[in-house]
Structure 1
Amino acid sequence: MECMYYEKKENNMVKCHLCPHNCTIQDGNIGICKARKNINGTLISLNYGKITSYAYDPIEKKPLYHFYPGSNILSIGSFGCNLACDFCQNWEIAHEDSLTMEIEDDDIILLGKSRGSIGIAYTYNEPSISYEYVYHMAKLAKREGLKNVLVTNGYINEEPLKQLLPHIDGMNIDLKSIEDDYYKRICKGSLKPVQRTIELASKSTHVEITTLIVEGENSSEDEIDKLAQWIGSIDKATPLHLSKYFPAYKMKLPETTYDTLVRAKEIAKKYLDYVYIGNVWGIDNNTYCPNCTNQLINRYDRGEVKGIKDNRCVKCGEKINILY
């Protein structure tokens, strides 16, 4: 499949404009993402329609806590990524040659309608570099009344993002740090494009944000304060998931302590209505009214919505931004 968002250059070279790397790729070579290849001066998507993994997941696993809580969704993913985070949890499919399968479009749609699934989540690897396939499937799914969810690092250029957004119902976007130096050192990318993705997406779809807290790297009180303040400047009702780091891929630092996560949550709550801790067993991740602390969603009961009526808290009438 020929890629969208690239230009042809002299000597069979091409320049890709999908993501902020804007790779210039010589004939026969691939881009940083390892999923787009220059073949005789035409940029080809190597992962179009190639699935490395699929499963039915609780929507909370994405994680999306304010998007049809208690529901299931079909998760599909391919291979490749345009960042190279030292702590990558899915490095086998992001950076290595992976076994793939091809599933017909109609069968994906059928799977998306089965087992109580509300739609399709594009996840596991970085879905934006499967752009042509995700764009194609999202349009099909939308026509069939299914929800489309993007679990993404947000590292995409504005024009392709704007073209995709009308077909996306919910996004979980990784904001790995609020410091550009962290992106450069640990993720081999940059901060500003991710911030721009969050700003644009927040205007047109449901957005939740995940930050993996790596102790000693992005866990300082000043940084958490700055991160939460920035998210709050867009919308203080945006859910923030502070996720526990475990050693993975190239990063061998000790796992993040419980106390560090709790302290980060306390700081973030100064600016945000909803802050959750992820990757920790047994933590209270119920949703409470930011005004009166009435319980809105009970997650011990598979996401039972109990304290909301007509998008308002039943106790105090506070407006609640939860899709259910």
Structure 2
Amino acid sequence: MKCNICERGCTIPEGNTGACGLYKNNGENIIELFPNKYLTVCPISIETMPVLHFYPRGKFLQISTTGCNFNCRGCFSTVIAKEMAPTSKALRELSPQQVVDEAVKNECIGIAFLLNDPLASLPTFLKVATLAQKNGLLVGCSTNAYFTETSLAQITRYLDFINVGVKGLSLRAYQNCGGGTVQPVLRNIKRLYQSGIHVEVSCILQNNNMEEVLELAKKLANISPEIPLQLMRFIPLEGADPALEPSIRSAENLYQSLRKHLNYVYLFNSPGTDYLNTFCPNCGEVIFKRDFYGPMGAKLLFSESDSARNNICPQCGWKIPIKALPAEINYREGDFQGGYPFTRALEMVEAILITIGVTDIKQVVQVWESMLGQNELQKLHQSIQNIGSYLEVIRYFGKLVQMEEKAAELVAYIEEKISLINISLLAVKKKPRVYYAMGKPLFCLMGKRFENQLVEAAGGISVNKEIECSGRPGSRISVEKLNALNPDVIFISAFLSSSVEDFYAECCKAGINVGAVKNKRIYSHPAPGWDFGSPRWILGLLYMANMLHPEVYHFDVWAEAARFYKQFYGSDFSLAEINRSFSKPSNKWEWRND
């Protein structure tokens, strides 16, 4: 029997499942194996989905299950699409009525399926969507849109908005994910748009697909130049090649070319960029400002004028095709809630477990289940923001997986290095003022974040703690504010970073005139994961001490990295194989399932 859920079109023998493992041939029909099971159910603001031109600032109930019909390298949702089984006890069973009741209770205006694909749980989503519509709630989803014509017809009648993730235009792009070609996706985008559903399209930008993305913009323009295109700068995770990550500068250059074909293009995963803003396609005026709000996320800030609040350009009167006016209240998600920060939280847990020697994904899932079952993510977020409590988390996880000795070994290693720093710190005569940025110079990390605790542990004064800064993981500040802070040293985040050369050029362009720029004391970490999200931050701390006080510290960070990898990962350290993943120590690392 052929499955008609997605265009992979698996032929499933009786009693078996298709490639995704989520649907089964029971002899009469293709049935969903794990209905009404949810990993996350929580309120979000729609921009974190992300959808930008539909009910801005709207509060929606996010629902996510597990599994996916695709298997993409570097997937942001790997932890729930591939590693968290649909049979996990971390999932809650909720009826469609209970999901709708949850949306109403939280004063949400709609329900949005995201993180994993609704194609993984289509019958369940259809039931929820049907009931949501009857209760006056809006319905939408993020999806790879590999719907068959049959399944698209089923879902179209209930959808109000959709974010379609296009993998590229080449055969390679889809075959690498387990699909065939992009044609079903392009067909479905056109039909969804013609059906009156609000459509936004996202596309991963890699170093090897820029021409494809430009061609995609042209194809979308043939449907309508008003379809927003979200340019997702690739963040290589899991087994992805780090060489595929484009710089923020090159992504911004491509943005300019895309705007020649589409009226509204947005650049994500690039903290500090202006290209999350909505510009008037007629005169270029900024209509709405947005800030980076975590991976794949944005946050609407404010309108420049009353006319902009009516979705009209205050300069020329151009009407911006945004469905509804922005909500007055800007809903703020809790820590590790809403969109992709939830998956980053699970990856940080995984990072510690791998470093203490866990090689079986089943053990990781058991810890996830324990934490989610006891609602401990909020506690985790607080605990990983300072060094002492981080070490306690390592010990705690060691007990959970009965690997106390390995956890103690990791803690001892970290404490030894910190002790060496503290001993030499006595010889430091003056502590430099240090500013921590992510991506571009004006995106300031919140003062309470872990990176700024490392600054102080390495013998610096964190100027970020002098800034009133909100957002996730921080927010933009003005040139005037940064100049007034006048840091002696600037560190660039090891997660979403720019090269020192690009960063310095941005400083000069923006008129940032501080000691760190004048003396060219701007530093990026030697490797990803060296300042947050992974116990590898201890290597970053050694590097920061060297850079802040070269007269005192002379740590051989490359030798220490080699030792760390051999001692805790049982592998060699290879910079070329380290990508942006918090948990996996290299893109070659694999579960052994002992």
TM-score normalised per structure 1 = 0.88
Q: Which residue of 227, 250, 255 maps to 2:216?
A: 227
Q: Tell me which protein shows more strand as a share of its residues.
A: 1
- Report Cα offsets for 1:16-45 as digits up to 9, x if no partner: 112112111112211112110123444220
Listed as ranges, the gaps of 5+ residues in structure 1 are 1-13
Conserved? CA contact 2:111–2:137, under 8 Å: yes
The 5 Å alignment of 1:154-193 reads 154-193=145-184
- Structure 1 pair 41/104, CA: closer, same or farther in 2 (3 Å)? closer
Q: Which residue of 69, 86, 93 maps to 2:80?
A: 93
282-291 or 204-213, which deviates more: 282-291
Conserved? CA contact 2:288–2:300, under 8 Å: no
Residue 207 of structure 2 corresponds to 215
The 5 Å alignment of 1:57-68 reads 57-68=44-55
C-alpha displacement of 1:173:
0.1
| Aligned residue type for 1:167 | Y
267-276 or 74-83, which deviates more: 74-83
**Whole-Å separation in 2 of the counterparts to 1:136 and 1:121:** 13
270-279 or 67-76, which deviates more: 67-76
**Whole-Å separation in 1 of the counterparts to 2:182 and 2:282:** 32
- Report Cα offsets for 1:189-234 as digits up to 9, x if no partner: 3210111111111112000011111222x12xx3232121111111
The 5 Å alignment of 1:45-194 reads 45-96=32-83, 97-98=85-86, 99=88, 100-194=91-185
- Structure 1 pair 186/31, CA: closer, same or farther in 2 (3 Å)? closer
Larger Rg: 2
Conserved? CA contact 2:233–2:246, under 8 Å: yes
Q: Could you say what secondary structure the match of 1:263 adopts?
A: helix
Conserved? CA contact 1:224–1:267, under 8 Å: no
Q: Does 1:25 align with 2:12?
A: yes
104-113 or 226-235, which deviates more: 104-113
Q: Which residue of 272, 297, 305 maps to 1:282?
A: 272
Residue 239 of structure 2 corresponds to 250
Conserved? CA contact 2:63–2:113, under 8 Å: yes
277-286 or 206-215, which deviates more: 277-286
59-68 or 188-197, which deviates more: 188-197
Conserved? CA contact 1:47–1:79, under 8 Å: no
Q: Could you say what secondary structure the match of 2:47 adopts?
A: helix
197-206 or 100-109, which deviates more: 100-109
Q: Which residue of 297, 300, 304 maps to 2:288?
A: 297
**Whole-Å separation in 1 of the counterparts to 2:177 and 2:36:** 30
Residue 228 of structure 2 corresponds to 239
Conserved? CA contact 1:176–1:212, under 8 Å: yes
**Whole-Å separation in 2 of the counterparts to 1:322 and 1:103:** 33
Conserved? CA contact 2:96–2:127, under 8 Å: no
The 5 Å alignment of 1:4-19 reads 14-19=1-6
**Whole-Å separation in 1 of the counterparts to 2:95 and 2:128:** 11
Q: Which residue of 259, 267, 287 maps to 1:269?
A: 259
C-alpha displacement of 1:158:
1.3
**Whole-Å separation in 2 of the counterparts to 1:69 and 1:226:** 28
State percent identity of aligned pairs. 31
| Aligned residue type for 2:78 | W
**Whole-Å separation in 2 of the counterparts to 1:78 and 1:27:** 25
Residue 321 of structure 2 corresponds to 321
C-alpha displacement of 1:243:
0.8
| Aligned residue type for 2:202 | T
Conserved? CA contact 1:86–1:187, under 8 Å: no
- Structure 1 pair 321/192, CA: closer, same or farther in 2 (3 Å)? same
| Aligned residue type for 1:227 | L
- Report Cα offsets for 1:91-135 as digits up to 9, x if no partner: 232224142210232321122124442211011211023111111
Residue 11 of structure 1 corresponds to none
| Aligned residue type for 2:108 | S
Conserved? CA contact 1:175–1:210, under 8 Å: yes
Listed as ranges, the gaps of 5+ residues in structure 2 are 292-298, 325-594
- Report Cα offsets for 1:50-101 as digits up to 9, x if no partner: 1122222221111111011112211111122111111211123222414221
Conserved? CA contact 1:70–1:304, under 8 Å: no
Q: Could you say what secondary structure the match of 1:313 adopts?
A: coil
Q: Could you say what secondary structure the match of 1:248 adopts?
A: coil
Equivalenced residue count is 308
Conserved? CA contact 1:149–1:168, under 8 Å: yes
Conserved? CA contact 1:177–1:183, under 8 Å: yes
Residue 36 of structure 1 corresponds to 23
40-49 or 199-208, which deviates more: 40-49
| Aligned residue type for 1:183 | Y
- Report Cα offsets for 1:108-166 as digits up to 9, x if no partner: 11221244422110112110231111111111111111111110001011122122112
- Structure 1 pair 49/184, CA: closer, same or farther in 2 (3 Å)? same
